[in-house]
């Protein structure tokens, strides 16, 4: 008698992941209480589902209360920002679930803690740190491929997620407070005498790496970061389906800038030293009626050959200003600024916290 065989169905790994994610999303709305003392994964009965057409196509499963509309709008706003900055998600769709006790991320499926949107302030008010948490969770959807266990490249993966979230809040709210607070917190971690958790250190290091790189690419005449946007969009596009490396980032940046950026990556990827700057300036009236302007910067706590460009903003007494970058290599640099008809009122050194450093103004 002929033996019968059942036809095997071979499902690709990616398909299995999608099926698992879909099943999980469906289950969280129907999981019963697991018994006394067990973790209750059953969501409240007042959940609803909202679909937002666009790029990406969003399905938001959220609590059906006065915060629901605010959450949907916020998720849609952040996702649209990432779509425009980086490009489309695989499948160009995303399901976002507001649900407690589910620290889980899967391509195309993101969970938000139910406590991340303030319950007391009402639907129109989203706290800045809530927005940052949501932006961080959604950024993982775009940069999941950059996250790796390799210690060096983990800095890039964490940095892409952290900086994307901070940049989203900064540009969408027109407030730099969240970005600067995140940078300060990251700097505290990096200089702490207590060894931080490796994941925390990678995130702090990566945040500063991406922030410094973007600010270095800003066109000071227009304050446009178009160069950074081009590089990061190309990095995302070319890195789809594989792990993204620091060499990939360097290649994209060098393509846009047209120069070697080895000096930057060699200094800031190992992060063996953080520069210390002491700076001073003078604005002296000359015989011709103009003011002769000079700034002097001393650099320490770095190895010989360390190079960095430090941005400054020179503000004159009539309110006008100019921006420059000081090329710092070696122990000291003196820059003769253009003469002016009025004296310098003040100088903003390391404008926009563009360089991870310690700095103080001293007498000339």
Confidence (pLDDT) at 167: 96
- Check if the beta carbon of residue 235 is closer than 8 Å to that of residue 211: no
Is there a single domain that holds both residue 215 and residue 324?
no
Q: Which two structure tokens, joined as six digits, stand for 199?
A: 């994941």
pLDDT digit string, tens, across residues 309-331: 999 999 999 999 999 999 999 99
Is there a single domain that holds both residue 154 and residue 243?
yes
Instruction: Evaluate whether residue 348 is within a structural domain.
Output: yes
Instruction: Evaluate whether residue 17 is within a structural domain.
Output: no
Residue where one domain finishes, among candidates 120, 138, 163: 120
The percent of residues in the chain predicted with pLDDT above 90, rounded, is 60
Instruction: Give the residue from 219, 271, 29, 244 showing the smallest Cα distance to 142.
Output: 244
Instruction: Give the residue from 45, 99, 106 showing the smallest Cα distance to 71.
Output: 99
The half-sphere exposure of 260 on its side-chain side, counting CA atoms within 13 A, is 3
pLDDT of 95 over the 50 cut: yes
Which letter does DSSP use for residue 146 in this model? G
Number of structural domains the chain divides into: 3
pLDDT of 117 over the 50 cut: no
Instruction: Please provide residue 79's backbone torsions phi and psi, each rounded to the nearest 5 degrees.
Output: -65, -40
The half-sphere exposure of 91 on its side-chain side, counting CA atoms within 13 A, is 12
Q: 48-61 as b/e, with b when 16 or more CB fall inside 10 Å?
A: eebebeeebebbbb
User: Which residue range forms the structural domain that includes residue 49?
Assistant: 28-120
Confidence (pLDDT) at 144: 79
Geometric angle at alpha carbon 232, from 55 and 238, rounded to 5°:
80
Instruction: Evaluate whether residue 133 is within a structural domain.
Output: no
Is there a single domain that holds both residue 53 and residue 167?
no
Instruction: Evaluate whether residue 255 is within a structural domain.
Output: yes
Is there a single domain that holds both residue 326 and residue 345?
yes
Is there a single domain that holds both residue 157 and residue 191?
yes
pLDDT of 116 over the 90 cut: no
pLDDT of 24 over the 60 cut: no
Is there a single domain that holds both residue 282 and residue 262?
no
Instruction: Evaluate whether residue 58 is within a structural domain.
Output: yes
Q: What distance in Å separates the CA atoms of residue 183 and residue 163, rounded to the nearest whole number?
A: 9
- Check if the beta carbon of residue 126 is closer than 8 Å to that of residue 117: yes
Instruction: Evaluate whether residue 14 is within a structural domain.
Output: no
pLDDT of 118 over the 50 cut: no
pLDDT digit string, tens, across residues 202-228: 999 999 999 999 999 999 999 999 999
Residue where one domain finishes, among candidates 103, 120, 137: 120
Query: How many helices (H) and strands (E) in the chain?
Result: 9, 12
Q: What distance in Å separates the CA atoms of residue 301 and residue 297, rounded to the nearest whole number?
A: 14
Confidence (pLDDT) at 113: 66
Between helix 226-238 and helix 246-257 the angle, nearest 10°, is 140
User: In which element (H, E) is residue 333 found?
Assistant: strand 332-340
pLDDT digit string, tens, across residues 254-303: 999 999 999 999 999 999 999 999 999 999 999 999 999 999 999 999 99
**Max avg pLDDT among 58-67, 82-91, 228-237:** 228-237
Is there a single domain that holds both residue 280 and residue 264?
no
pLDDT of 50 over the 80 cut: yes
Is there a single domain that holds both residue 240 and residue 204?
yes
Q: What distance in Å separates the CA atoms of residue 166 and residue 337, rounded to the nearest whole number?
A: 34
Instruction: Evaluate whether residue 20 is within a structural domain.
Output: no
Q: Which residue carries 């289950």 as its tokens? A: 27
152 pLDDT band (50/70/90 cuts)? low
Residue where one domain finishes, among candidates 247, 268, 289: 268
Confidence (pLDDT) at 9: 28
Is there a single domain that holds both residue 249 and residue 281?
no
Confidence (pLDDT) at 29: 43
149 pLDDT band (50/70/90 cuts)? low
- Check if the beta carbon of residue 110 is closer than 8 Å to that of residue 139: no
Instruction: Evaluate whether residue 317 is within a structural domain.
Output: yes
- Check if the beta carbon of residue 291 is closer than 8 Å to that of residue 339: yes
Is there a single domain that holds both residue 103 and residue 213?
no
Is there a single domain that holds both residue 357 and residue 287?
yes
Residue 253 Cα to chain centre, angstroms: 16
Is there a single domain that holds both residue 264 and residue 152?
yes
- Check if the beta carbon of residue 32 is closer than 8 Å to that of residue 40: no
Q: What is the mean pLDDT of the chain?
A: 83
Burial of 100 (0-12, 13-18, 19+ CB in 10 A): middle
Confidence (pLDDT) at 83: 94
pLDDT of 23 over the 50 cut: no
């Amino acid at each position: 008698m002929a033996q019968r065989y059942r036809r095997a169905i071979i499902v690709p790994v990616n398909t299995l992941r999608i099926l698992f994610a879909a099943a999980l999303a469906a289950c969280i709305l129907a999981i019963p209480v697991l018994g006394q003392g067990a973790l209750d994964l059953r969501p409240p009965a007042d959940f609803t589902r909202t679909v937002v057409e666009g790029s990406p196509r969003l399905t938001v499963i959220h609590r059906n209360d006065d915060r629901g509309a605010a959450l949907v709008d916020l998720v849609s706003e952040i996702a649209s920002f990432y779509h425009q900055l980086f490009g489309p998600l695989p499948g160009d769709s995303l399901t976002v679930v507001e649900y407690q006790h589910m620290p889980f991320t899967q391509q195309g499926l993101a969970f938000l803690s139910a406590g991340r949107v303030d319950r007391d302030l009402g639907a129109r008010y989203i706290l800045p740190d809530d927005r940052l948490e949501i932006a961080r969770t959604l950024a993982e959807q775009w940069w999941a491929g950059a996250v790796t266990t390799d210690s060096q490249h983990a800095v890039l993966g964490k940095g892409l997620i952290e900086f994307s979230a901070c940049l989203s809040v900064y540009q969408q709210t027109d407030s730099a407070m969240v970005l600067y607070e995140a940078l300060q917190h990251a700097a505290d971690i990096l200089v702490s005498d207590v060894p931080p958790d490796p994941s925390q250190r990678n995130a702090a290091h990566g945040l500063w790496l991406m922030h410094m790189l973007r600010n270095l690419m800003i066109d000071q005449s227009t304050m446009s970061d178009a160069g950074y946007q081009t590089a990061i969009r190309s990095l995302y596009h070319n890195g789809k389906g594989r792990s993204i490396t620091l060499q990939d980032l360097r290649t994209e940046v060098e393509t846009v800038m047209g120069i070697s950026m080895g000096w930057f990556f060699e200094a800031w990827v190992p992060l063996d030293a953080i520069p210390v700057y002491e700076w001073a300036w003078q604005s002296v009236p000359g015989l011709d009626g103009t003011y002769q302007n000079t700034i002097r910067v001393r650099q320490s706590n770095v190895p010989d050959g360390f190079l960095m460009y430090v941005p400054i903003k020179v503000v004159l007494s009539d309110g006008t200003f100019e921006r420059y970058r000081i090329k710092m290599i070696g122990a000291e640099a003196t820059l003769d600024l253009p003469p002016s008809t009025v004296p310098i009122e003040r100088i903003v050194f390391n404008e926009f916290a563009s360089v991870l450093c310690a700095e103080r103004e001293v007498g000339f």
